[in-house]
Structure formats: C-alpha cells, structure tokens
Chain A
Amino acid sequence: MIFATVGTQGQFDRLIRTVDEWAGAQGRTDVFAQTGPSDYHSEHIRTQRFIDPTEFRKRVEAASVVISHAGMGSIITALELGKKIIVMPRRASLGEHRNDHQLATAKRFAEQGRIMVAFTEQELLGKLDQVQAVAETERLSAQASPSLISTIRTFIGTGRIRFENRDVSP
C-alpha cells in the first residue's frame, strides 16, 4: 500500500497528479491519496479530500511508502512508524502555499538523510521508481531528544535553564 497525503492547506495537485499518472503507468492499484481541497479527478488511485487524524495514523501504519508534502505532521508520523517517506515541498510561486518554508524544511531534512526529497514532478517519478529498493527506515524513538526533554523538565521543576553545565536565569 502506498499512501499519498498533502494536508489541508489548499490544493497540491502537482503531487497528486504525478502519483496518479505513475500508478497508471505501473499498473498499481494499491494507492490511496488524501488530496485536500482539490478538484483534480484521479483516474488510477483512490482519493479522499480529508481524513481525520486517527485514520491518518492508520493509513500511515498500513502503508509501505508515504508520499507527502513537507508538513511536519506527515513527516514525523511516518518516521515514528518507521515508514519510507518521499517528500515534495509545496511552492509559493505555484500557489501551493503562502511562502516557501516547505522548501527550506525539505532541504534540511534531506541533508540529514532521514527522508527522500523530490523537488520536481520528474524527481518524484524517479524516487517512486527507486523507493521499493531503498532499505526500510528505522522507527524513531517515541520521544524527543533526551537533552530537549531534560531542558524542559528542569525548567518546569526549577525555573532555571541549564545548558552544558551553565545555569541561566531567564
């Protein structure tokens, strides 16, 4: 099962259309897409405009690959559940978002090697062809980095901020 998701902030038909065409060309019948407020008519994949967060998690759980806009909810959920994820950032110049912060997010995450990133439709097709051969992703631990947890816990308990043996009073 392949799960494509674009969140709720306006249409991202560029992603949906590319996945739809790829599924048609490959004869894949196991693709489901959450399309957001879109009027694009898919031919080869099943779609739903919105799904609730519980179903969203179930869909990710059931998928072998997640294809997503660069939204943190999708990225973190896929990593938590140990799923391979291909991310295509929304672009402001194409009316897909208010600004290009998804582009910046995707670049940083790509540098860290945690996710696959496609900046164009062409790249997305390429990654879709490669993804089955990519090794499984390890599940992220269920919580944030220990140092972040410890900073917040210390602050809650004492009202102090501790950085590498240095106490700071806010």
Chain B
Amino acid sequence: MLGSPVFRGKALLNNGTPQSHGVRPKLLAVSSGGGHWVQLLRIRHAFEDCEVTFVTVHESYRAQVPDHKFYLVNDANRWTKIGLLKAARRIAWILWNEKPDIVVSTGAAPGYLAVRFGRMMGARTIWLDSIANVEQLSMSGNQIGRCADLWLTQWPHLARPDGPHYTGSVL
C-alpha cells in the first residue's frame, strides 16, 4: 500500500491537480524540526486563502497548528539511505492522500522530497531556503531550488537573476 503510488499513479493524479476540488486551493506546508519549522510558521500568513496541511517531524508541533490537518514524517536529516527511503515512502503517501495544489517548504530533507514529488504530480512548488544559510545555499536548497517553481533565499547577496530570488526574510 505504501509502495510508490506517485510513480505508478502519475496519470491518475492529473485528475486532482490545481483547484479542481473546491474553492480554496490545498496547500501542503512541509519542514523538518527546529529552525525549519519556526521559519515555516513565520510565513503561514501567506497561506491564509488556502486549506493548509502541515507535515513535520515532531508530534509536539501539532499543538501549534490546532486547526489544521497534520502529518508526521521521520526526520531524514542525515540523509541515511534507510531514513531517506522511509521518508520518501511516507511523503509519497501523504501527497497521494492530499493531492495538494501547492507544496511549500523551508527545508530540509522532508521538504526536498515533498517539493520533488509535488512537482511530479503537477503541484505548484515553493522552496524558501533557510535564513541560516548565509554564505551559500543549503545542499538540499541548491538541488531542489532549481526544481521549485518559486525559489527564494533570505539573503540579498545570495540572489541570482534566475533564482534564488530575494524579497525579504522571516525576520
């Protein structure tokens, strides 16, 4: 059941793409823990017109978003193969369930996976690189940013004409 529905089901999923299921677009907001989660919460006002579902790594974060759907994923932060596979399977399953119109992430590994799979399913994708990355983009940010439809950095000196773009920070 948890196989790889995203790959097998790509054609099917096209039925569920942008805004065919109601007025409010469905948005999946994904992050790992600590600073990534804190930064995700600080941009949530931008999601006001959407039906928002959060995906993150600690059960105790649920209380901070009481009126929203909430999924847990293991934190694959260290990029271990087994951890990454588990996270990939879980993220794929969540995307299959939710069929979001938009996927937003502030990093790291779970967000990378969600943006990647979200893009494959036809969702509009947003990657906001962490404000902690002041000298260069994060590893996942540099790889995934090019994949995301909107690629943002929080430091003006890291912006490039083709992205990442800078229009402000979470502070």
Q: Decide whether A and B are members of one complex.
A: yes
Chain A residues in contact with chain B, CB under 8 A? 7-8, 52-54, 70-77, 79, 101-102, 104-105, 107-108, 114, 140, 142-153, 155-157, 159, 161, 163, 170
Q: Once bound together, how far apart are the Cα atoms of A145 and B104, in whole Å?
A: 17
- Minimal Cβ-Cβ distance residue in A for B37: A73
Give the interface SS of chain A, mostly helix, strand, loop or mixed.
helix
Please count the residue pairs between chain A and chain B whose beta carbons lie under 8 angstroms apart in the complex. 129
Q: Check if A149 sits within 8 Å of B50, measured CB to CB.
A: no
Chain B residues in contact with chain A, CB under 8 A? 25, 27, 33-39, 42-50, 58, 60-61, 63-64, 102, 104, 124, 126, 128, 130-135, 149-150, 152, 154-155, 163, 165, 167-171
Contacts A53-B61, A153-B49 hold; do A71 and B168 have CB atoms under 8 A apart? no
Q: Check if A144 sits within 8 Å of B43, measured CB to CB.
A: yes
Residues of A within 8 A of B155 (CB): 108
Q: Check if B131 sits within 8 Å of A170, measured CB to CB.
A: no
User: Whole-angstrom distance from the CB of B38 to the nearest CB of chain A?
Assistant: 5
Q: Given B38, B128, B149, B154, which contacts A77 in the complex, CB threshold below 8 Å?
A: B38
The 4 closest A-B pairs by CB, nearest first: A72-B35, A148-B168, A145-B168, A73-B34
